[in-house]
Every structure is written in structure tokens, then in C-alpha cells.
Amino acid sequence: MDLLSPLLEKKLASTLSFPPDLAATWLADGVLQLIPQESKSSTLIISAGIHGNETAPIEILLRLLAQLVQGHLSLQHNLLLILGNVPAMRESKRYIDNDLNRMFGGRYQNFPSGNETQRAVELESVIQRFFQEPAVIASTRRWHLDLHTAIRGSCHEQFALLPFQQREYAPELLQWLDGSDIDAMVFHKSEGGTFSQFTSQYFNVDSCTMEIGKVYPFGQNDLTKFSNITAALQNLITGTFSVKRQKPEIKRYRVADSIIKQDNSFRLHIPQDTKNFTALSDGFEIASQENQSWKIASPANFILFPNANVAIGLRAGLLLEQII
């Protein structure tokens, strides 16, 4: 069942008809609420395509949706499926005007009005509406998995980013991430404008951003590379979680410092193709701008998401330390 063409042609909502035991409501373009007739104590949000060119998660989400429509997956949660930035998907772009995943928690106000600011407003209100559903209010467990792929190569191909939160991370979520066979987890130490931060902070959801591989155009993804994630998501949806870890022990990191680009003098002193989680030597000047320089200081030796081409005021990289 091909759902990608209907999505890109704005025909997804009219294409689908659901089994009678699922109450389906489109809350916005690309945002589908599915509430099982039999009440569930658990709520799950799965989002993909917050960056429009990150196609593998979109294809995986559409595959899960097709299986739900066909009755091949028995839904054990109140579920919200979100295709994040549909206009950017149609243009095979990360975003049209600005990076949507920096705008949540009201930060859209700091950006000129455009496609993504409108979508951030819409997604925030959609989440609010979803959590006002009686079935969802009653649920005792709330998870949000925001699926992404990375622009660059990575020493750890698949990893999760846990938003900053003052309460403890849910052991069940960490266990599921471990079982899903991803390679690493990264814990944020301060609030950011990501979608997973928003649901965690404002709705007490156990949330994370998952980076599951590398960016390729639609149709060029080798979906077998994502079989561990797909299986873990299918198991989660059906409540039959049985995935066992096959890979070596998962690595854990925490964010030690954020490199923020403040003006046009900003430079990153590493090659363009530096992989995520590359270990850098003590004392190495990784970035500089007019009145500031960042030098590597142990134990924060690892670079994540280095990108000098971000807008001024935004994050151009994270320095991580490994948690032993």
C-alpha cells in the first residue's frame, strides 16, 4: 500500500479508511489521531519529517500507518501520528524558511513568520488538543518518539537524544531504546526548541528524538537498515514488546556545552565531513568567533551536529562527554 504519493499529492486523508474499532480524526494536515474503541491506559505520539528531507522515518511511519489501516497491527495505545513538515517534504527540503525543530515552546516568536512558524503554532495547538481527549487524559503512560535522520555520517549510526527534564527519565523508555538496538543515548542538560523537549516539558511526556540513520531522497532508503527500529515500533504499537538487544552495550553521553553562532565571523575548525561523535583532542580549538573560542577540554571530547551554516543565534554543535 503506497501512501507516499497520496501524502505528497495532499490526498492522504481521503485515501484511508480505518477498521471499525479505531476512531480516526485528522487534527491537521498530516496529523492523525487514532483512538481504539476499547480504552487504553497508554498514549503514544510518533512523529517524522519535522525535517522534510529526512525521508526514512517518513517512509517507516507511512508503513506503520498502512499496517494499522489494514488491521495488521493491533493498536494498544491512543496514538497520534504526525508528519511534521509536509510542504518541505514536497520540495525535498529540510525546511522552507527556517528550522522547525528549533521553534517549539513558543520560540517561533523569535523567527520571521513563514511556513515553519505557522506549523509550529499548529503542532503545539494540535498536541494540546490531543491531550484534552478524554481517552488521553485518562492514560497513565505517555510517550513521544520523534524520528529523524542525520545530515552527516556518525560514529554511532543510530542514537536517541533525551530532552532536558527535571524529573527522572522513565526507565521503561530507556529500556525500550536499549532493546531497539540503537547505538547510543545523549542526555541534554538544558532546554531547547525541539519537538521532543516541548512534549516532555509541557505535557509530562516521556519523549525523545531518535536519529536512525542518514538522509537520502525518497525511494533511495534501504529500509532493511531500519529493521530494528521498525520492529521495535511495531512491537511498541501492539504492546508485545519482545525485542532483545543484539548489538554491544549502548553508549551514554551527556551534553557538556553548546556551540552557539553569534555572528558572521563564526568558524568551525573541523572538516565538513566530520562524523558525529568524533573524539577530538584536548586543547583543540574547534570553533571561534570574534569574541569567543571553544577549545576541547576533557571529558567533553565528542562533537555532535557540527554545522557552521546555521542561522545566527542558533546552535552550531554540541560538545559531549561520555557517561561511564
CB nearer to Zn ion: give 56 or 300.
56
CB nearer to Zn ion: give 53 or 78.
53
Q: Is 51 annotated as a binding residue?
A: yes
Query: Does 102 contact Zn ion by CB under 5 A?
Result: no
> Cell 527534564 sits at which residue?
165
Q: Please report how close the Cβ of residue 154 comes to Zn ion at its closest, in angstroms.
A: 13
CB nearer to Zn ion: give 100 or 177.
100
Scan residues 260-279 and list those touching Zn ion (CB under 5 A). Answer: none
CB nearer to Zn ion: give 84 or 179.
84
8 Å CB contact between 60 and 229: yes
CB nearer to Zn ion: give 54 or 181.
54
Query: Does 142 contact Zn ion by CB under 5 A?
Result: no
Q: Which of 211, 249, 285, 321 is catalytic?
A: 211
Helix (H, G, I), strand (E, B) or coil at 67: helix
Residue type at 239? Answer: G
Q: Please report how close the Cβ of residue 117 comes to Zn ion at its closest, in angstroms.
A: 18
Q: Which stretch binds Zn ion (CB under 5 A): 140-148, 159-167, 265-273, 302-310?
A: 140-148
Q: Which stretch binds Zn ion (CB under 5 A): 12-20, 52-60, 158-166, 305-313?
A: 52-60
Q: Is 249 annotated as a binding residue?
A: no
Residue 15 is given by DSSP the state H
What's the maximum distance between 2 C-alpha atoms anywhere in the chain? 62
Q: Please report how close the Cβ of residue 161 comes to Zn ion at its closest, in angstroms.
A: 10
Residue closest to Zn ion (Cβ): 148
Which own/partner pairs from 191-194 qualify as long-range (CB within 8 Å, at least 24 positions apart)? 191/105, 191/163, 191/164, 192/102, 192/163, 192/164, 192/315, 193/101, 193/102, 193/103, 193/104, 193/105, 193/107, 194/101, 194/102, 194/104, 194/146, 194/161, 194/163
Percentage helix, strand, coil, to 5, in the chain? 30, 30, 45
Of residues 40, 102, 119, 148, which one binds Zn ion by CB under 5 A?
148
Q: Is 77 annotated as a binding residue?
A: no
- How far apart (Å, rounded) are the C-alpha atoms in residues 166 and 149? 27
Binding residues for Zn ion, rule CB under 5 A, total: 3
The terminus-to-terminus CA distance of the chain in angstroms comes to 45
Scan residues 53-72 and list those touching Zn ion (CB under 5 A). Answer: 54
Q: Which stretch binds Zn ion (CB under 5 A): 35-43, 47-55, 124-132, 200-208?
A: 47-55
Residue 311 is given by DSSP the state P
Residue type at 174? Answer: L
Dihedral (CA of 68, 73, 79, 82) sign: negative
Q: Has 211 been annotated as catalytic? A: yes
Q: Which stretch binds Zn ion (CB under 5 A): 34-42, 141-149, 180-188, 229-237?
A: 141-149
Query: Does 51 contact Zn ion by CB under 5 A?
Result: yes
Cross-sheet strand order for the sheet of 292-295: 267-268, 285-289, 292-295
Residues that bind Zn ion (CB under 5 A): 51, 54, 148
Catalytic residue numbers read 211
